[in-house]
Structures are given as structure tokens and as C-alpha cells.
Amino acid sequence: MKPALLPWALLLLATAPGPGPRPTADAQESCSMRCGTLDGSCSCHPTCSGLGTCCLDFRDFCLEISPYSGSMMGGKDFVVQHFKTISPTDGSVICRFKESIQTLGHVDSSGQVHCVSPLLYESGLIPFTVSMDNGHSFPRAGTWLAVHPNKVSMMEKSTLVNETRWQYYGTADTSGNLSLTWHVEALPTQTVTIELWGYEEIGMPYSQEWTAKWSYLYPLATHIPNSGSFTFTPKPAPPSYQKWQVGALRIIDSKNYAGQKDVQALWTNDHALAWHLSDDFREDPVAWARTQCQAWEELEEELPNFLEELPACPCTLAQARADSGRFFTDYGCDMEQGSVCTYHPEAVHCVRSVQASPRYGSGQQCCYSEDGTQLLTADSSSGSTPDRGHDWGAPPFRTPPRVPGMSHWLYDVLSFYYCCLWAPDCPRYMQRRPSNDCRDYRPPSLASAFGDPHFVTFDGTNFTFNGRGEYVLLEAALTDLKVQARAQPGTTSNGTQTRGTGLTAVAVQEGNSDVVEVRLANRTRGLEVLLNQGVLSFAEQSWMDLKGMFLSVAAGDRVSIMLASGAGLEVSLPGPFLSVSVLLPEKFRTHTHGLLGTLNGDPTDDFTLRSGRVLPPGTSPRELFVFGADWAVHNASSLLTYDSWLLVHNFLYQPKHDPTFEPLFPGETTLNPSQAQEAAKLCGDDHFCNFDVAATGSLSTGNATRVAYQLHQRRVQSLQPVVSCGWLAPPPNGKKDSNRYLAGSTIYFHCDNGYSLAGAETSTCQADGTWSSPTPKCQPGRSYAVLLGIIFGGLAVVATVTLVYVLLRRRKGNIHVWGTQP
């Protein structure tokens, strides 16, 4: 049975006193083994710091660490903050991750406790506990963020100098020395050992026995000075190591024995181990790679078809960038980072499906050219290729093919090296990894709330609701999705409260996922993100894998939340209040309720009350105020955080909708002539902007509303459905002049020399998604183009003779011109 939603809010109501003196921590109670709990006379919950209700030893047992993140490959040393010890020896500190993986910690000379992160096969937040008595008890608890190796900063890993050279070593014209570098201060020791580790997935694919495994292979160097660089000449590894073809190098302190797990270390990127392969590879790399490519093809024949459950690609670049709930930028081809698209050179931008496919853990990739056209592998090697193993992995991780980065390497990247990079057999690879041509893509629906605050529903209805309280933006029983928001009055430049409100916090949960809240920070007036009521830091990472969702923060002013269902939220701060946009896939049609309306294509039922009664279109602003109030949050189901007494008194003890607050209503605002002129110049016919200038007296607030509304409108336009007719083949022994397959596009066909066209010369993509003509054939024989050339060439000769005749007659003084009357 699913537990009641967020009982912590009810516990806070039950345990916190009413208005009056605040509670103080009870010195007799402890947070030992109680982190995250509210029960008792003092609290160990993340909200206790703001409320002043923490047990006195809260920081000793509910741990903060620095750094808080590192590669899932492990080896990162981190320090427990706010806790020092005097007596324990190094051997008494044990750090336990996920209740089962133990690493040795230590106490430094200043008394600070250190842990080392372990090698993991997953990314995301990893709970850990600390023992100070050699493993007898683990009363202290914290959270470690394990990240995809590609998201680790360059300061924290070793660099393969000219990484491409490492991965082509042994092929034509690639030999000699290889080098790697690292930051000496990242591994404080006098001497180091450099090791090779290999990755494999063993057992029957898609069975319970399928297992992911990193293995220590052999050292490249031992007890060398920690100088920050190392150069060597690779030699083929012994036959017993040849089965490992992808791996990484690890640098450790030489005091550790070879292959010792979970010690402080620096790792390189995982890469194809061309440089350690056998003499067979070096003698004839193309033949060797072709054999491997064929073996991969034979394996693919035996594995299930993962393509069938992948999401369809967006048809245009605009759609791909706007559909941020289901697709996210592929770091390997990002137009905002200069479009360095190594494996897709004709593309300017690629996206990946955020969520892996449910059964096989696979991923979709979609790439686009500069004009926004989708690139297909059937037309170009720059086309997007789907992945048997999603690059970002998939919950519950740990087992193939769901291991972040590494499963993708084995089944999609290494095979690309075999077929495309080490051998000229790329069509064989592309046949197994064909692009999706977008015919089945359906854009999501968009709803937004912004400004003072104004709402645009999924079906396009817009209205203003200036309530003070906490409200349900969206509920969808289909996936148990809930989005809630807090609205508070604004203040004028002289500090007085306005009669308008705006969103100051937005929280979301889907099913039993984590709860994420984005709110206005009190001190900085920037964005603050909370995870399960605890404030998150983005000082080290801008992307987090969470339970049931992914979270991304861009430039500190935009937060994207991508849910397991494909729903997405974006929260930004364009002005004094939050702006929130919600994207819902087609499956949510007829399943939504709340202030953002009923998603069904019918705007007339968007004002539906909890009772099911529908207010008609044209309802007055005062009646719409009743509609908004009806969607006030209940304490029992609140997702929002109450970590200050101001929030507790104003929103937990008080009604969720403040019945005493009297807002300004549209049509009841007035401006003096000077203000009206300025507003008209800024806002034009934007009634949201005009209202906010009148309600707040602030042109900047009105401008922020105008910008937010324009962004909504542009995004709606980007998400308009388009019709695709799908890929159209060129004729054998011929070609086509275009790779555009959307409605209205026309493709021209041409035959090679020595062939003639049989069929229509053009085909146009029609509005019903079909081509006007099939691909024609090119038959042996002289082509029409050649025949026309002969015909027109003959006419040109006749024309030339005629022109000479006319000129000669003119020269003799006869002005009679051919074909004219004298």
C-alpha cells in the first residue's frame, strides 16, 4: 500500500507549536540513526535549521560533505563538514554506501573525517553512512552524488592527450608514443601507479545472470614520480587480456597495492583500447575490424529488437529543442557549445531521449542540420543513431544494459569503431542503427503561468488569477502527477504590498518520485531548488539523476525537470516572480485537472471545479477568482516546504487560500496619462503586460510578463504538428536532390549517365502524409537529359546560323530582319 503523501507536513503540524514561543532543541534527544525524521521533541528533518527545531547534534549525525559529487568510477576523497573527532585511528573509520559497499575512511591531522567514494555502476544520489567504531555501528548518514564520467570536471580526471590517437592506435599512420596528463594537486602523493582497467558485460543478454564488471588488468607504470604526465610506447597486451576492448586508466598512490579497489584515484575517460590490442590488429586493422563488425552483426541478430519501443524523433530542430520534457541536448553535438559534432559532422545539434525505453533500457538520438532538417542514416553517416544502451543509463542501473556510459560503449560505440572508424563498412552499422523518420512523432501540449500571475491552459485559454495562497496547477491521476504553486503579494519600490500576487514556489511529484521544489530565495532573490524539502547545491553539478526524474539547472535562472512519464516542467525567473511551463505528452489527454485546465482540445471546459462543475467561457474575473480558490492545496497533500516560521504561520496554520486578500481584477485598474502612455509604448496590445504595469506600477514587471508570454507563444509555435511522409529512397543508378520529407517538400530525381528515368521526375510530400509519386526507376539507355542536350544542341546550331545570316545582311545595308515586316 502506498504511504500517505508527504506525512512530514502533517507531522510538522502535529509536533510544532502554534503561534507563540518557538521550540528549542532537547539536549536529551539525538539525531543518531534518525536523520530525516520529525518525531520527537526535536527534529532531524532538513527543515529544522530554518525553524530552529534541530536536535543539538543534528550536524554531527546528519552529514554535510565537500565535495558532494564525483565520478561513479569512484576514488574521490570527500570531507565530512561540521564534525571533528580527536581519538580514532585511521582503521576505525568505515564509510558504507547503499548499505553494502564499504570503503575505508580516515581522520586527518586536523580531526576531520574523510571518506572515499566507491566504484559504482550507477549515477544519482547514493545514501551512505559512517562508522567511527570499525563497523560496529553506522549512526551518521549523508548523501553522495555519483555522476556520469563525462560530467566530471577536467580537474578531477586524467586526460588522454589527443584522445583520438589513443583510439586509432595501430591503424594506418598511427603509431609511436602516447601521453596522458593530470593535475598533481588532485592526487597528493610523491609517487603514483598507472593501471589499465577493462569493462565487460558477461552472461546471457537480458537474463538475470547478465552482469556488468570492471576488472583490473595490468599496470602501465609503477612507483613513478607524481609529475602530472606520463608517456609510453604501447605494446600488444598478452592474449589473456585481449577480450577487453573498452576500458579506462586509473592513477593511484603507489602505497596501494595493484588493483586495490575504492582508494583515492584519478580516472581517464573510458575509451576504445586500440592501443593494447593484439598484433593481428596492428598487422591488418581493417580485416580485424571487419571480423569484429560481422561478429557484432551476428550478435544483433540474436538480440531482441529494441527499436520498436523507442520514442519517435521530433521532425524539426525547433520541435526537438522545445520538447524539453522528453528530449535533452546531446553533449556530443550542442549548438550552444559551437556544434562540435565529431560523429555527426553535417549536424549542428542533436538531442537524446531523456528516459530510457522501459523494457530494454535503450535510447533515441535525433540530429538536425543547420536549416532544422532531421538527418537520417539512410541519407548520410551524419544521421542520428539509436542506442541499444542509453548513454545516460536507466534505473535501476547496475545491471546491463542500464549501466551509465558503459553499456552504451559496448553495444553502440565500440561497434561503430569496428564498422565505421577502423573499417569502411559503415552501411552495415547504419542498417542496425537506423534513424527514426518522425512520422509517429506527436508534439506535447504546453501550459504556462507567469507574471501577476496569468495562466495559459493546455487548450489555449488565458486568464488572470491573483489569489494569495497555495494552489493546484495540475493533477493527473494517469501517473499520479501533481504540480503545486505558492502565490504571494508583490511589493512596490517603497516596500508597500501590492494588490497583485505572483508565483514564489512551484513543487512537483509523480507517483513515488522525489519531490522537487523551485522557489525564490529569500536572500539572493534568485532561484533555490529543494529536494525532498532540503536545499540543493549546484556549485559542482548542473545535472542530477533523481528518483523518477532528471533535473537540470541552466545559468542559475532556469530549472528543467524531466519526469519518467515524459512530462516536463521549466521554471525560470524573468522578473520578480517565477514563470512555469508544463509540457505533457499526448497520453495525458482527458486526464488533467487544476488551474492549467483540462487537456482535451476543448477550451470551453478549462474552468472545471473540483466538483466537476464547469464555468463557461466569458466568466467574469471575479467568478474566476472563485474557480482559482477552489483549487487550493490541502495540507494533507501539500508538496511545498515550510522551513521558516513565516511560511508555517502564513500557509500551514492559515487557510490555503486567503479569503481576506482582495486583489485587483482586470478591468478595475487605472493609470494616470503618463503611465498609460509608457505602458502602451511597452506593452502594445499585450493585455497581460498592461495589467501588470497597472497592478504593480512597475514597467520592468510588465516587461518581464511580456517576455514570458512571448516565450510561451514562440514555444507553442515551435510545437505545432508537422506532417512527414517519411524517407523516400533515391532510384538505383540515380540520385535525389533533397533530404527534406515534410509536407510541401518536393524531391527531384536524376539518373546516372547511361540510364534513363522511367517514372515521375518529382515527388511531393502531401498533406495526408503520402508521397505524390513513388521513387522512379533508372533503366539502362541514354537518359532524357542527354537526349534533350542533343536536341537543344541542334537548335543552338540553327540559331547560330540564323544570327550570322542576319548580321551579314545588316552589314550590306539591308535592314530587312528575319521574321519582320519592312
CATH of the domain at 766: 2.10.70.10
The answer to whether residue 305 is domain-embedded is: yes
Instruction: Give first-to-last CA distance, the chain, whole Å.
Output: 105
CB 233 within 8 A of CB 176: yes
- Where a domain ends, among 433, 461, 487? 433
- Where a domain ends, among 101, 129, 150? 150
CB 292 within 8 A of CB 299: no
Residues 117 and 169 in one domain: no
pLDDT at residue number 496 = 78
Residues 130 and 168 in one domain: no
Q: CA-to-CA distance for 392 and 93, rounded, in angstroms?
A: 33
Residues 117 and 228 in one domain: no
The answer to whether residue 694 is domain-embedded is: no
Residue 77 gets the label, from left (phi > 0), alpha (psi -120 to 50) or beta, of beta
pLDDT at residue number 15 = 54
Domain containing 380 equals 285-433
For residue range 727-767, what is the model confidence (pLDDT) as tens digits? 999 999 999 999 999 999 999 999 999 999 999 999 999 99
Residues 604 and 474 in one domain: yes
How many domains does the chain contain in total? 5
State which residues of the chain have pLDDT below 70. 1-28, 86-91, 523, 556, 782-822
What is the signed CA dihedral for 585, 587, 589, 594, rounded to 10 degrees?
Answer: -70
The answer to whether residue 587 is domain-embedded is: yes
pLDDT at residue number 806 = 37
Residues 580 and 527 in one domain: yes
pLDDT at residue number 101 = 96
CB 688 within 8 A of CB 709: yes
Residues 355 and 478 in one domain: no
The answer to whether residue 649 is domain-embedded is: yes
The answer to whether residue 335 is domain-embedded is: yes
The answer to whether residue 485 is domain-embedded is: yes
Residues 211 and 124 in one domain: no
pLDDT at residue number 668 = 78
- What are phi and psi for residue 221, nearest 5 degrees? -160, 145
The answer to whether residue 707 is domain-embedded is: no
**The CATH number of the domain where 643 resides is what?**
3.40.1000.10
Residues 308 and 415 in one domain: yes
For residue range 761-792, what is the model confidence (pLDDT) as tens digits? 999 999 999 999 999 999 998 654 444 444 44
CB 476 within 8 A of CB 466: no
Query: Which strands make up the sheet holding 445-450, listed edge to edge?
Result: 462-464, 454-456, 445-450, 579-584, 568-572, 558-563, 549-554, 543-546
∠ CA(82), CA(86), CA(88), 5° rounding? 105
pLDDT at residue number 665 = 86
Residues 623 and 495 in one domain: yes
pLDDT at residue number 88 = 54
Q: How many residues does the chain have?
A: 822
Residues 373 and 469 in one domain: no
Q: CA-to-CA distance for 700 and 706, rounded, in angstroms?
A: 10
Residues 426 and 291 in one domain: yes
Residues 277 and 298 in one domain: no
pLDDT at residue number 820 = 27
Q: Which residues pair with 350 in a beta bridge?
A: 367
CB 514 within 8 A of CB 508: no
The answer to whether residue 211 is domain-embedded is: yes
CB 317 within 8 A of CB 339: no
- Where a domain ends, among 646, 669, 692? 669
